[in-house]
Amino acid sequence: MLKLPRWNRSTAAATEEITKNATAINDDEATTAAKAVVCVSGMSCSACAVSVENSIKHLPGILDAAVDFLNDRAQILYLPNLTDVETILQAIENAGFQATISKDGTDHRSREVCRIRVNGMGCNSCSSMVESVLEAMYGVQKAHIALLNEEAEVHYDPKVVNCNQFIIAIQDIGFEALPITIGEHVTKIDLKIDGMHNENSTTKVKESLELVLGIDDVNIDTTLSKVTISYRPDIIGPRTFIEILESIKSEHFKVTIYPEDTERETRKQKEIKQHYKYLIWSSALSIPVFLTSMVFMYIPGIKQTLDIKVVNMMNVGHIIRWNLSTPVQFVVGSRFYFGSYKALRRGSANMDVLVTLGTNAAYFYSVYIVLRAATSPTFNGTDFFETSSMLITFILLGKYLEVLAKGKTSDAIAKLKHLAPETATLLTLDLHGNVINEAEISSELIQKNDVIKITPGARVASDGLVVWGESHVNESMITGEAKPVTKRTGDKVIGGTVNENGVLHIKATHVGSESSLSQIVRLVESSQLAKAPIQKFADHISKYFVPLVILLSFLTWIAWFLAGKLHLYPKSWLPSSMDSFELALQFGISVMVIACPCALGLATPTAMMVGTGVGASQGVLIKGGRALEFAHKVSCIVFDKTGTLTIGKPVVVNVKLMNTTVLEELLELTAATEVNSEHPVAKAIVEYAKQFKKEQNPLWPEAQEFISIPGHGVEAIVKNKKIIVGNKSLMMNNDIEIPREVEMFLVDAEGMAQTAVLVAIDRMVSGVVTVSDPLKPGTKEVISILKAMEVKSIMITGDNWGTANSIAKEVGIETIIAEAKPQQKAEEVKNLQTAGHTVAMVGDGINDSPALVAADVGMAIGAGTDIAIEAADIVLMKNDLQDVITAIHLSRKTFAKIRLNYIWALGYNLLAIPIAAGVLFPSTRFRLPPWIAGAAMAASSVSVVCSSLMLKKYKRPKKLDEIEIQMNGIVVE
């Protein structure tokens, strides 16, 4: 299903179009057409690719060009008598890029993706630091860092750099790094080997596995008796590994699947426990400090005890507070020192720097007060030990609540992963297909082509085809569609879905990382890694936020200190037992600790993570922040017709014969030509022709010199006759006369929304086949709702104008473009963008891929082709147009939440910093003690995360539920 990166797939579609165009040019041109593959350096985004493409296409003699910016490659089809390679290279260089010809016809750069676990990132500044380090490495094309997931996804050239170098680079800046996956089509499995006691047995294990075809990497951990195998599931599987290891001579290994890898959950729980432990210790030590400083001083008896002098003016209270606050500052608070060190080492500053500066200022000033009291018989000063200790305690409380809340943002992925059953029933069949044995195995041991038994109520163990039985399967957990789907022999089933009644035998077709469930999980994880463009706003602010706060804090302190020294405010303003320096210091520390860069950094990723997770549960897979951001701004939707607005399974409704043509002969020649085409109309004609044959799978006459002409039809030689099957324009292009009788028939067919396919035998129209493709239920209502949402609907189709007009009129679409070739669809999308629209394209076929890529948001119907799904930004799993509305509505809700988060985060800082600086003090005597300022800072981050979690209560528009009721024929009283 999802096999190649988006731009690779789109380039594949464009390359296919180039090839087809090459066959469509006249014979003279075809003999002189040439193809060049050019390596282009300097492209960083799709806009660069468009610039390169435009620089090439304006040249004379260019037939077509496809540009792949991820792999730095352009493929050009041109006429050498009008242009040459040097001119093409010069044009690309004039556009600002470096270009060299690839003589072997392949690109000089490959692309791989690896994912790395990054532990220890505390805030947005940390993730930005990791991202900048990775992207600065030679050979890295791009890097995405997910703070909440604690993951890095790196796109790189494996010929230049590798995953181990990324891990070393991350560790060098102070974070722990562990590889998760290397490559996109590799599955990893952990096996536990009992009996592997020495180096000799370890060597035998490694050598035995490395010789096996399909195994990419073997990693052995002797301390845990664990072997980690990276393999390609389309070639080999884990059962084979176990058989190989247990059959090693002279060894007696017992091999099992290593207990389920819950490392991430265990680590998350460990992190929560660690935060909780620190919070408890900090509270236990800080509360007595607070009580001795702020409460017990007003209780007779206790106050006298605390005021007992030990050395000069140093009293018992000083000693107690100093002893209790020191472990809080340097042991419990050590995490802030480490975080500050990491940040400052890279020349940046984060929240840890603010906390460290603020608490150190309070603590060391307090130490100075105590030491001066111990050396002076008359000095009477106030310490701030409660400020430093309570400040750390409240920040730890905020971090504890934050980590609890953040853990809930990725619930959707956890639920998806747990859909796969733990065990499966493996069937052994004889040569006649009879079951001779059943065995229960771990579902991780299923290999391609295994036959699995699925009992009623059980989850389907893997993607596959039904080879025996009939049942209803509930696919709602994957597609969001609650209605059970009937499954019979030959039907596809999806791993993780629930078999409701009958027994099924399925043949596994996609296992491991290739399964639909794994790909959905990977897609959702990748989407949560990808930053939305709006995140750049927070990243930009974060660079300057902490230095600015430190500057404001210093200015606050110096302003109040000078005001006190210069007697700019009366002494009555000073609190008891505090001088002007101490008052100024408290204001400065409060400013330093109340500012919260974390809230800004969490505003976008938390909402995005919850939003994409909710979308996945609704059957709407959103590929990252960019798709989510642009979807909420969509003002115009372009719909393909066949398979999108219509069901996509056309049926033949009428055949008109001309002259003395015999029906069976016409259908045989037509089917023999069309059987080579993948177009839905072609398949409908072939299926109709089968009805006139006695055998179920007839052998059609051989079609020679077959040519497919995109947007028009097909040509071939069958039984020494020239057969042309296609639309009216194809006939006219071949100078084939269309009788008046046929013209009238075409008009009538188009008026009934039927597609008319003309069949010419030896350059004479011999018949017309009319095909009808019914509308999908609820299509008209969906268009109506979009209109109410102020989203313009347009239909672009390769079908004729008559059929297009009829369909558009039926569903309520006013603007249509018919008889459009694939490249024309993309051009129309670009024209709409030029007119100021944010455009979404909804399609399902290969010919929609260029338009899906060109659109701001490409939406692929889930039942569409692999290429369409890869080219799209959003995949609608249910093959239901209602989800177009769900996608737009959910994105609007998500971005409303992101805006609210930003308003809260920015508003909090804009309001809190002046209050902490003492703007209310002259008029109200209100001041914010530093420890309360710390509590407010912690609360701001928690509030942003909780705000994002509210998205979990998302419900799609009620109007969509009304459509469901109408479609199911339910009467509501």
Q: How far apart are CA 938 and CA 948, in angstroms?
A: 16
Decide: 96 and 32 in contact? Cβ < 8 Å: no
Decide: 325 and 388 in contact? Cβ < 8 Å: yes
Residue-wise DSSP of 345-414 = HTT---HHHHHHHHHHHHHHHHHHHHHHHHH-SS------HHHHHHHHHHHHHHHHHHHHHHHTTTHHHH
CB-based contacts of 4: which residues, under 8 Å, 6+ apart? 12, 870
For the chain, the residue count is: 973
Q: How far apart are CA 68 and CA 870, in angstroms?
A: 14
For helices 238-246 and 199-210, the axis angle rounded to 10 degrees is: 140
Give the tokens for residue 722.
């020239």
Say which of 157, 640, 873, 883 is annotated catalytic: 640
Q: Give the position of tokens 């094309």.
A: 141
Please report which helix (H) or strand (E) contains residue 644, including its range.
none
Residue-wise DSSP of 819-868 = S--HHHHHHHHHHHHHTT--EEEEE-SGGGHHHHHHSSEEEEETTS-HHH
Q: Which of 256, 390, 380, 257 is nearest to 309 (CA)?
A: 380
Q: How far apart are CA 349 and CA 358, in angstroms?
A: 14
Q: How far apart are CA 568 and CA 687, in angstroms?
A: 95
Angle 743-746-751 (CA atoms, 0-180°, nearest 5)? 130
50 SS3 class: helix
Q: Which residues pair with 929 in a beta bridge?
A: none
Please provide residue 125's backbone torsions phi and psi, each rounded to the nearest 5 degrees.
-65, -40
640 as an active site residue: the answer is yes
101-132 per-residue burial string, b: 16 or more CB within 10 A, e: under 16: ebeeeebebebbbbbbbbebbbbbbbbbbbbe
Q: How far apart are CA 969 and CA 941, in angstroms?
A: 48
The secondary structure of residue 646, as a DSSP letter, is B
Q: Which of 928, 935, 916 is nearest to 282 (CA)?
A: 935
Decide: 395 and 595 in contact? Cβ < 8 Å: no
458-487 per-residue burial string, b: 16 or more CB within 10 A, e: under 16: bbbbbbbebbbbebebbbbbbbbbeebbeb
Sign of the alpha-carbon dihedral angle for 747, 748, 752, 755:
negative
411-449 per-residue burial string, b: 16 or more CB within 10 A, e: under 16: bbbeebeebbbeebbbbeeeeeeeeeeeeebbbbbbbbe
Q: How far apart are CA 231 and CA 214, in angstroms?
A: 6
Residues labelled as active-site residues? 640
